[in-house]
A and B are shown apart, each in its own frame.
Chain A
Amino acid sequence: MSDDVITLDGVWKVFGMNADAAMAAIRDQGLGKPEVLKEFGCVIGIADVSFSVKRGEIFCVMGLSGSGKSTMVRHLNRLIEPTAGNINVLGNDMLGLSDNDLREIRARNIGMVFQHMALLPHRTVRDNVAFPLQVRGEPKSRRWEVSQKCLDRVNLTGYEDRFPSELSGGMQQRVGLARALASDPDVLLMDEPFSALDPLIRRQLQDQFMSLSAELNKTTVFITHDLDEAIRIGNRIAIMKDGRIVQIGTPEEIVTQPADDYVRDFVDGISKLKLVFAHSIMVPIGGYKPTRPVNFDESPRAHHGTDLDQLIDIATSTENVIIITGDDGADIGVVDRATLLKGIQGGKA
């Protein structure tokens, strides 16, 4: 087996009474969204979604509301049954599982955080966090021990005996995160966890989540409608539109090579300084034609993975061009003022 933890292959979800007939028609006649709605009264939730997520990776799924991202993530623990396709999580064919095995996987291997927290209002914070363990049938002492550890981890020590309604939104979502971590799952599903929070708290929680995930190394599927957030958090990003994935790539790929106008629209508003690196804007050293005499020997050197922000710092400290070096230290390219400015402006020279 590869180290792919999650694999989706050609997954479709059609909502409606005649979903199967509609699915067959989509297969055979290639019907589009409006035709399916008109002829079968069915709505396409997600269409032909395929991707895989590696162990320890944070995979962000970005899209506007209604793009099917929340529907998609609910397929990973089969809260929603797909109409067609294959889903594999941790080596389990999710669609072939019995009800019991499915519950077992949900309770042990997949944690989930929800946009609206979905805490149980009649239970204390501690009992909320311990809920997945209680479902699994763990004794109370073990439940308390684990939930204490998880609450410490999200900096909620001292709030164990409060009720969710006594906590602020940000704190409630940290309880939600602690609950998802309580069963020590291999996979974390985060369905727009920070969307309902105000920007400051959101940023705090993003930082906290990133340091946690660096520490715990959980494979994460993170749903968001905010490209900034996706870029901050994700190792890779998938962009969804109308139930389809229009592009999958690293944040840099998304920003520098948007697949279509839809993605470009998102990317336009994003600051590229931390996302674009020297190797994607440099001119290869052989093809560089200086506009004025330059002294390569006195030029500062920078690794090809240096981002634009740092390149600007270097450029302001010298009159010379910047020489870009490869991993082995050899000179491979040149960045001069013009190239740098173009890079800042467009992401790509």
Chain B
Amino acid sequence: MRDTQSSADEHNVAAFAQDNARYYETEFSKIQGKTGFTWSWNMMAAICGPLWGAARGVWGFFWIFLVLELFALVQVGRGLWGELGADQLARVERLEANIAKREAQAAELTAAGDVAGAAEKLKIADNLRNAAEKALDAANSASSAALTILLTGLVLLVALKLIEGLYANYAYEAQYLKWRSGQKVQSGLRRSGIWFGLVGLLAVWPLTLIRFTVAKPEEFVSTLTGGFLGERVTITEFPVGREYFSILAKKGDAGFDWLANNFGDLFDGVTASIRWVLDGLEVLLIQTPWPVVMFVTVVMALRLAGARVAIFTAASLAYLALMGLWELAMITVALIGAGAFLCVLIGVPLGIWFGKSKRAYAFAEPVLDFMQTMPAFVYLIPIIAFFGTGKPPGVLATLIFAMPPVIRLTALGMRGVPESTKEAAIAFGCSRKQLLFNVELPLALPSIMTGINQTILMALSMVVIASLIGAEGLGALILEALQYAAKGQGLLGGLAILFCAMVIDRIAQGAYRRSNRSN
């Protein structure tokens, strides 16, 4: 077999396989010499199964066949010694005890002269007897299925061995190619691999086999291990109660209480500043007469986003007004507006900072993930503890959920500014401030605008949740509908929120597209 070209260099099959090199040289050249499937039988792999994979470092092979062989062995075990009708037999026992009880009651009643009552009890006992007979049948047929299951398991096992033997050389050849290209994979046989494979088998197979084939696994295991496993350490359930959970939860309560007591002024300050923004917007949207607000909105849509969006806006506003949802809608928009405004106010500077400092971003990333993925109900609880209920806490909850996109996209935009453009600006004497305002921010603007748009839409989706802690508006309407299962009210309220969102989104996008075109 010295005629293969690859045997000349140090990356040849012999150097890879080490043990049994001659065999693998032949088999690999057989595999590589054909495009389709080739019969390449590996006896070691067929006999040892997963352990062959462990020894050769083919860990994918090891884990897959560890699980598959275990499945086959469970079937064999069930067929050989599994008590298949056990649960049905237990039911029969229970039923018979019940029948005996009823019959005793019937005898008592007969003795007391209540014939009708006794007949009633006997009838129940009859019914129970029928059920018991059925259960017995089921148990018998289950145990007669044992042979079928055993055969299935054996056939499966043989098939798996065949697949292992035929597939092993393919898997090993793939690993050889990886090894050649310098990726860190094992070459040759390793004793440590065999040991690890054995430990893996012992950790997985015995307990699983017992669990699925023995009727009372806990008792069986405890007799095997002298009472250690199964009795002191249960195997079907994790042997720990909920005591750690409740201890930590109490600690958490205490922590939040402490924060609420000691930083009350700070939280009040936050609430006050949010309320200030909110009040401003509410005056603008609610106290201003509705014709003015409508007129300004439609004209804005026309100027910024064109006639089509203006018509859509007018229709949406008409819907809100005709349904009598005008005030609620304006409250909602004020809520979202305040949330989005604060998101941008806080998020854009943060995004600029994270875009410039890789380290800061590395710290912020998990926090942002947390803000976006943590279910809103979780942070609603501390928000109520710190800030009470009402609109400002609702805005705060919106902030937590809706701020990440604007931060992320601002940072992304900042990092996307070409290094060469920044360098040129610095070469012409730009200070950091000039660089930020003349180069970085303008070039990052498209990304920042996308972030703001996303933030607005996410703020809208928080409306209903914010209403849970007392923020009024369309969200509260829907929450009410939910409580009374008022389907129509829910639908109309949902449509109102949808229209609000679409109007804001279309106007913002139109405005942005317009400013883009003029550039």
* Neighbouring A residues of B418 by C-beta, 8 Å: 118
Q: Mark B408-452, 1 if CB is under 8 A from A, else 0.
A: 000000000010110111111111001000110011010000000
* Neighbouring B residues of A135 by C-beta, 8 Å: 425, 428-430, 434, 438
B429 touches A106 (CB 8 A): yes
Closest CB of chain A to B417's CB: distance in Å?
A: 10
Contact of B431 among A79, A103, A189 (CB under 8 A): A103
A114 touches B420 (CB 8 A): yes
Does B519 count as interface, using CB distance less than 8 angstroms?
A: yes
A121 to B445, CA, bound (A): 12
* Neighbouring A residues of B431 by C-beta, 8 Å: 103
B429 touches A112 (CB 8 A): no
Does A224 count as interface, using CB distance less than 8 angstroms?
A: no
Closest A residue by C-beta to B420? A118
Does A202 count as interface, using CB distance less than 8 angstroms?
A: no
Closest CB of chain A to B431's CB: distance in Å?
A: 6
* Neighbouring B residues of A103 by C-beta, 8 Å: 429-431
A79 touches B426 (CB 8 A): yes
Does A122 count as interface, using CB distance less than 8 angstroms?
A: yes
B424 touches A122 (CB 8 A): no
B439 touches A120 (CB 8 A): yes
A118 to B430, CA, bound (A): 14
B426 touches A136 (CB 8 A): no
Given contacts A134-B438, A135-B434, A163-B519, contact A118 B428 (CB under 8 A): no
Closest CB of chain A to B24's CB: distance in Å?
A: 36
A199 to B430, CA, bound (A): 33
* Neighbouring A residues of B425 by C-beta, 8 Å: 120, 131, 135
Closest B residue by C-beta to A183? B428
Given contacts A106-B429, A107-B429, contact A118 B519 (CB under 8 A): no
A118 touches B423 (CB 8 A): yes
* Neighbouring B residues of A179 by C-beta, 8 Å: 428
A118 to B427, CA, bound (A): 11
Does A77 count as interface, using CB distance less than 8 angstroms?
A: yes
Contact of A122 among B427, B428, B519 (CB under 8 A): B519
Does A132 count as interface, using CB distance less than 8 angstroms?
A: yes
Question: Which parts of A122-155 form the interface with B (CB within 8 Å)?
Answer: 122, 131-132, 134-136
A103 to B432, CA, bound (A): 11
* Neighbouring A residues of B426 by C-beta, 8 Å: 79, 106
Closest B residue by C-beta to A118? B424
A74 to B184, CA, bound (A): 40
Closest CB of chain B to A13's CB: distance in Å?
A: 16
B427 touches A77 (CB 8 A): yes
A137 to B434, CA, bound (A): 11
A116 to B421, CA, bound (A): 9
A131 touches B428 (CB 8 A): yes
Does A104 count as interface, using CB distance less than 8 angstroms?
A: yes
Number of interface residues of B (CB under 8 A): 19
A110 to B426, CA, bound (A): 12
Q: Mark B454-493, 1 if CB is under 8 A from A, else 0.
A: 0000000000000000000000000000000000000000
A120 touches B429 (CB 8 A): no
Closest CB of chain A to B424's CB: distance in Å?
A: 4
* Neighbouring B residues of A121 by C-beta, 8 Å: 443
Given contacts A118-B418, A120-B439, A120-B442, contact A112 B424 (CB under 8 A): yes
Closest A residue by C-beta to B519? A122
Closest CB of chain B to A191's CB: distance in Å?
A: 9
Closest CB of chain B to A176's CB: distance in Å?
A: 8
Closest CB of chain B to A89's CB: distance in Å?
A: 13
* Neighbouring B residues of A116 by C-beta, 8 Å: 420
Closest A residue by C-beta to B422? A118
Question: Which parts of A83-129 form the interface with B (CB within 8 Å)?
Answer: 103-108, 110-112, 114, 116, 118-122
A283 to B430, CA, bound (A): 58
* Neighbouring A residues of B420 by C-beta, 8 Å: 114, 116, 118
Closest CB of chain A to B419's CB: distance in Å?
A: 9
B439 touches A106 (CB 8 A): no
Most chain A CB within a 10 A radius of its CB, from B418, B427, B430, B443: B427
* Neighbouring B residues of A107 by C-beta, 8 Å: 428-429
Closest B residue by C-beta to A132? B428
* Neighbouring B residues of A136 by C-beta, 8 Å: 429
A112 to B429, CA, bound (A): 11
Closest A residue by C-beta to B432? A99
Closest A residue by C-beta to B446? A122
Closest CB of chain A to B396's CB: distance in Å?
A: 35
Question: Which parts of A13-27 form the interface with B (CB within 8 Å)?
Answer: none
Closest A residue by C-beta to B419? A118
* Neighbouring B residues of A131 by C-beta, 8 Å: 425, 428, 438
Closest CB of chain A to B380's CB: distance in Å?
A: 42
Question: Which parts of B201-226 form the interface with A (CB within 8 Å)?
Answer: none
* Neighbouring A residues of B519 by C-beta, 8 Å: 122, 163
* Neighbouring B residues of A79 by C-beta, 8 Å: 423, 426-427
A188 to B428, CA, bound (A): 12
Given contacts A103-B430, A135-B429, A163-B519, contact A114 B424 (CB under 8 A): yes
* Neighbouring B residues of A189 by C-beta, 8 Å: 427
* Neighbouring B residues of A163 by C-beta, 8 Å: 519
A104 to B428, CA, bound (A): 9
A112 touches B427 (CB 8 A): yes
* Neighbouring B residues of A122 by C-beta, 8 Å: 442-443, 445, 519
* Neighbouring A residues of B438 by C-beta, 8 Å: 120, 131, 134-135
A111 to B438, CA, bound (A): 18
A132 touches B423 (CB 8 A): no
A106 touches B427 (CB 8 A): yes
B428 touches A120 (CB 8 A): no
A120 to B445, CA, bound (A): 13
B429 touches A118 (CB 8 A): no
Most chain A CB within a 10 A radius of its CB, from B423, B429, B519: B429
Given contacts A134-B438, A135-B434, A163-B519, contact A120 B427 (CB under 8 A): no
A79 to B428, CA, bound (A): 10
Closest CB of chain A to B481's CB: distance in Å?
A: 48
Closest A residue by C-beta to B421? A118
A183 to B421, CA, bound (A): 18
Closest CB of chain A to B390's CB: distance in Å?
A: 43
A239 to B442, CA, bound (A): 40
* Neighbouring A residues of B430 by C-beta, 8 Å: 103, 135
Closest CB of chain A to B423's CB: distance in Å?
A: 6
Most chain A CB within a 10 A radius of its CB, from B418, B420, B445: B420
A122 to B428, CA, bound (A): 17
Closest B residue by C-beta to A136? B429
A111 to B445, CA, bound (A): 28
* Neighbouring A residues of B421 by C-beta, 8 Å: 118-120
A-B contact pairs, 24 of them (CB 8 A): A103-B429, A103-B431, A104-B429, A106-B426, A106-B428, A106-B429, A107-B429, A112-B424, A116-B420, A118-B418, A118-B421, A119-B421, A119-B424, A120-B425, A120-B438, A120-B443, A121-B443, A122-B442, A122-B445, A134-B438, A135-B429, A135-B430, A135-B438, A183-B428
Mark A residues whose CB is within 8 Å of B.
77, 79, 103-108, 110-112, 114, 116, 118-122, 131-132, 134-136, 163, 179, 183, 189
Nearest 4 pairs of A and B residues by beta carbon: A107-B429, A118-B424, A106-B429, A132-B428
Other A-B pairs, 13, CB within 8 Å; known A122-B519, A132-B428 = A77-B427, A79-B423, A104-B429, A107-B428, A110-B427, A118-B418, A119-B424, A120-B438, A121-B443, A135-B425, A135-B429, A135-B430, A179-B428
